[in-house]
Amino acid sequence: MVALGEASMLYSLQLGQRVGVVTINTRYIPWIQHQVAKYGLERRVTGVHAMQFEPGQILKAYESQALADEVRALFDEQAKPLVAAGAKRSFPAAAFRCSCSQRCTSTLSMVRRSSTVFRSR
């Protein structure tokens, strides 16, 4: 059996040898760092950064393109230092907890778009 966190990390690592994780709130950083260690990925994850949203707030991004663009800008801001630290790709930790297929598809789409934006040279 594969957990969502593990699947998300392994999927992202297919896009680049080193990745960074962006979560919605600082309270999730220790939990994600625990998962990184549990799966033996410490050498491949450059770090975990966080935006400042509550879970209910981030879901509003699915209600309008303007809100989605705002979240994307905040994600980009947190992903830049991860790329500077060596991540070839950065991905949203929200992919760990997708339960609705539409949200999961949107989140994976964000992973693909951020992968294009944040490729290191």
20-31 pLDDT tens trace:
999 889 999 999
In the CATH hierarchy, which fold is given to the domain comprising 4-9+18-112? Rossmann fold (3.40.50)
Contact 117, 76 (CB under 8 A): yes
Per-residue pLDDT of 28-52, as tens digits, reads 999 999 999 999 999 999 999 999 8
* Mean pLDDT, residues 84-108 taken together: 57
Q: What is the pTM of this model?
A: 0.72
Q: What residues contact 48, with CB distance under 8 A and at least 6 apart? A: 20, 21, 22, 23, 29, 32, 33, 36, 93
Domain definitions of the chain by residue range? 4-9+18-112
> Tokens 């957990």 sit at which residue?
3
Spatial distance between the Cα atoms of 115 and 118, rounded to a whole number of angstroms: 5
Residue 48 bridge partners (DSSP): 21
The distance of Cα 14 from the centroid of its chain, to the nearest Å, equals: 14
